[in-house]
Amino acid sequence: MTINALTSNQSLAEIVKERSGENVFLCYQCRKCGSGCPLSDDMDLTPNLIMRAVQLNRKELVLNSTSIWLCDSCQTCTTRCPQGIDIAKVQDTLKILAREAGVAAKIPAVPAFNDAVLRSIRMYGRMYEPQVMAELNLRMKDPFRNMALARRMMSARKVKLLPSRARFPRNLNSVKNVVAEPSEVVAYYPGCSLHGSAPEFDMSTRAVAEKLGLRLQEPKGWTCCGTTPAHMTDPFIAATLPVQNLSLMEKSGFKAVTVPCAACFSRMKFAAHEIREDAELKEKVAKKIGYEYRGGVEVEHSVNTFTKRVGLDKVKASVTKPLKGLKVACYYGCLLTRPPEITGADNPEYPMNMDNLIRALGATTVEWSFKTECCGANLALTNLDSCLRLVGLIIENAKKAGAEALVVACPLCQLNLDSRQFDIAERTGGQPDVPVYYFTQLMGLAMGFDEKQIGLDKLLVDGRPLLESKGFLGSEPAAVAAGSETKGSGAA
């Protein structure tokens, strides 16, 4: 199908409205989307110019642009649009239209990556990371792409060599309630990364939850949420995959689910919102999965589970080794807070809930400008130069603010900020020197857990020397040896 055939009877704006529900003619070129987009410098058309080109029916220009493939769905444009246009959704729609029209992607690795992920989900029910990487490399005719990263991850035992198959129930209506006391048990949806490349996040989350008396239960048979490749490829799949997981939890008797991965959290919140607002989509999804989701599961990111459900007072009372003297920058990334209509975030531009949690552990958090900037997401695998620029800006800004380390709440952000320091160092002649901890690792450390119980040995930029210099690992700090009241306990 050609571009002209695709748009012969309707303008591009009309097709976008039909497919996405977004009216691009509401855009009056305030340029907030373009000025806020972290990738504008790398685009041939900034987001506001894409909107103008769609308004003007410039089919060839838009569908042949690099910009629609560079967009990594950070939701900054959508959040800041004064007209309420979901610009990120428009970008997704344009990608889909370009592929339908047979227009070759200006960044071929993006659709290749998306296809590899969705193929893995179809095969196993979950994303099998080694297969996705191998397929992407072969399709890019570069079988040794990211081999240095692969070696580092294998050395840290962060690569799952064999895939795990999700055994999702064939009939959701036959699923039995497995939760005797719904108010006391929270469903735990680890997502594919915590069962693969981010085992330390899983280990530390489970450890501190148990220490705090938070009862987590992983639903049997959960499947991948579809992550970014789903909504960039097919909005129906993007809604169906999260909703079938929420339906499984609802039928199992759970009233709430905690989600450590920001991408999984975002997709579940988006899908629940979309079927609530779109009766036709809800009906189609229900027909596909054989169950009508009733919206009975509250979706929480794990930061909010610990700060609100458990509470800062209880967290603080569980600290046996205060992290005094540790100065960190809390990095939230894009999707924990944006857009607030979906996430429910109180302050999407400058959140403080993770800061407050880390401060309850005794550490100091810095005030800085990049706490919700994008780290590049999947561009680390599809357009490395853009990703390295974004990671470099985040690391540099954190250092200038006086941070000794970063604290994150997403496995995808952690992988980019941790691993890509090596690529930056290779290009600049510097050293990867900023540890990137999961917030649950610092919680576990402050609660007295051993370094291996919380996976500190799995960080690529080794975070143990910094903690040893502060007296949190290894020999006791001088103040403690002298009989300080802050004496820490052993392993929990």
Residue environment code for 460-492, b if the CB has 16+ CB neighbours within 10 A, otherwise e: bbebeebbeebbbbeeebeeeeeeeeeebeeeb
Structure tokens given for 339: 């857009």
Tell me what percent of the chain is helix, strand and coil, each rounded to the nearest 5. Answer: 50, 5, 40
Number of H helices, E strands in the chain: 27, 8
Alpha helices in 329-484 (DSSP H): 340-343, 353-360, 379-382, 384-400, 411-428, 439-446, 464-469, 478-481
pTM comes to 0.94
Pairwise CA distance, residues 68 & 171, whole Å: 38
Task: Determine the Cα–Cα distance for residues 145 and 483; give it in Å rounded to an integer.
Answer: 53
pLDDT in tens, the chain (492 residues): 456 556 568 999 999 999 999 999 999 999 999 999 999 999 999 999 999 999 999 999 999 999 999 999 999 999 999 999 999 999 999 999 999 999 999 999 999 999 999 999 999 999 999 999 999 999 999 999 999 999 999 999 999 989 989 999 999 999 999 998 888 999 999 999 999 999 999 999 999 999 999 999 999 999 999 999 999 999 999 999 999 999 999 999 999 999 999 999 999 999 999 999 999 999 999 999 999 999 999 999 999 999 999 999 999 999 999 999 999 999 999 999 999 999 999 999 999 999 999 999 999 999 999 999 999 999 999 999 999 999 999 999 999 999 999 999 999 999 999 999 999 999 999 999 999 999 999 999 999 999 999 999 999 999 999 999 999 997 544 333 333 333 333 332
Q: Using the 8-state DSSP alphabet, how is residue 490 labeled?
A: -
- For the chain, which domains are there? 3-100 (1.10.1060), 109-153 (no CATH), 172-302 (1.20.1050.140), 317-481 (3.40.50.11810)
Q: Which residues pair with 364 in a beta bridge?
A: 327
Helix (H, G, I), strand (E, B) or coil at 188: strand
Length of the chain measured in residues: 492
